[in-house]
Amino acid sequence: MIIITRPDATEEQIEHIVARIRFWGLKAEVSRGAMRVVIGVIGPEDKIREKPLGAFPGVESVTPVLKPYKLVAYEFRGTASQVKIGGIGVGGKELVLMAGPCSVESEDQITTIARAVREAGAKILRGGAFKPRTSPYSFQGLGKLGLQLLATARKETGMPIITEVMDTKDLELVAEYADCLQIGARNMQNFSLLREVGRLNVPVMLKRGMSATIKDLLMSAEYILAEGNFNVLLCERGIRTFETMSRNTLDLNAVPILKSETHLPIVVDPTHGIGIRQHIPSMALAAVAAGADSIMMEVHNAPEQAKSDGEQALLPNDFRDVVERMRAVAKAVGREM
């Protein structure tokens, strides 16, 4: 930690800070400039970070030297990690497609879509059984029945399934069915839920919150790894900005930054990211070029009848078309698909 004092900090205040640092068993290196005093605090960064250094009179700012995340940091592994979802490795040379409807609606709907996306090249089936909806009056998902229908579709197609868990009390149930648990953007800082999925041995895809910084996302993932579950994927799905012509602002800048900050695989969800059906293919291609390890997209065979997010679902034909184009881009950037 580096403490920079205010220009009007008194000698007494500076001495008080130094005394406290030493009292905690840490080392203080004082460097006096013309205008301000800089105090370097040396010792175990974890121990230092707990201390409310900014609360001391005379302090202007406190800058950490080390990053607050450890287990998720790239340096922890020194190489990219691969996470296996039902036998499909995400994070290696292969670019993995996840696709399916927003919500599971019926057996016919989910199996029809599952077959269509598998044929087009998708490897993992997505579908929501528990749906976080802004309005209490919107369709909230089929719950347990939705999970059973996903299992049926898995049996039919052989595709592993990813589905969202919204609450600790549903976790056991969802984990019984899912090959990968999804933690949604709105729950990215539901720390109780993070801790509990951290105690399971199931892959977890953690979506970035709408106003979460990249650092926040990494800290939330750290919660899961700290409990012992290293099978974590991070998903960029759009942040909230002032722009209103896109539903969210898919932040592809996060892809190269995350790839250099963490060893965890990166998924991009262009469907929620831009949220406009006709523009999703462009963003999917861009995500591949930016270096994503996996792309997740929503596909529906009858968007006009969808119970949620019909506006942004691709038709199976459109999906097939964009997968072909993604394949070409993947090859151009040295990925297989």
**Could you say which residues in the range 122-161 bind a second copy, by CB under 8 A?**
132-139
CB-wise, 90 or 185, nearer to a second copy? 185
CB-wise, 10 or 213, nearer to a second copy? 213
> Which of residues 94, 107, 156, 170 is near a second copy by CB under 8 A?
170
Q: Does 190 bind a second copy (CB under 8 A)?
A: yes
CB-wise, 141 or 160, nearer to a second copy? 141
Candidates 46-54, 111-119, 146-154, 228-236: pick the segment binding a second copy (CB under 8 A).
Answer: 46-54
Q: How many CB atoms lie within 10 A of CB 23?
A: 8
Q: Does 282 bind a second copy (CB under 8 A)?
A: yes
Q: Which residues, numbered 6-45, are part of the site for a second copy (CB under 8 A)?
A: 7-8, 20, 29, 31, 33, 35-36, 38, 40, 42
Give the span between the Cα atoms of 206 and 218, in whole angstroms: 10
> Which of residues 4, 151, 175, 200 is near a second copy by CB under 8 A?
4
Q: Does 243 bind a second copy (CB under 8 A)?
A: yes
Both tokens of 294, joined, read: 């996996």
Residue linked to tokens 């020194």: 78
Q: Positive or negative, the Cα torsion across 190, 308, 283, 331?
A: positive
Q: Which residues, numbered 192-231, are part of the site for a second copy (CB under 8 A)?
A: 192-193, 195, 209-211, 213-216, 219, 222-223, 226
Candidates 87-95, 111-119, 153-161, 165-173: pick the segment binding a second copy (CB under 8 A).
Answer: 165-173
Q: Does 120 bind a second copy (CB under 8 A)?
A: no
Q: Does 251 bind a second copy (CB under 8 A)?
A: yes
Measured from the CB of residue 47, what is the shortest distance to a second copy in angstroms? Answer: 10
CB-wise, 155 or 331, nearer to a second copy? 331
Q: Does 54 bind a second copy (CB under 8 A)?
A: yes
Q: Does 286 bind a second copy (CB under 8 A)?
A: yes
> Which of residues 277, 318, 320, 321 is near a second copy by CB under 8 A?
277
Q: Does 252 bind a second copy (CB under 8 A)?
A: yes
Q: Does 79 bind a second copy (CB under 8 A)?
A: no
> Which of residues 255, 295, 297, 322 is near a second copy by CB under 8 A?
255
CB-wise, 138 or 158, nearer to a second copy? 138
Q: Does 260 bind a second copy (CB under 8 A)?
A: yes
CB burial of 105-120 (b: ≥16 within 10 Å; e: otherwise) equals: beeebbbbbbbbbbeb
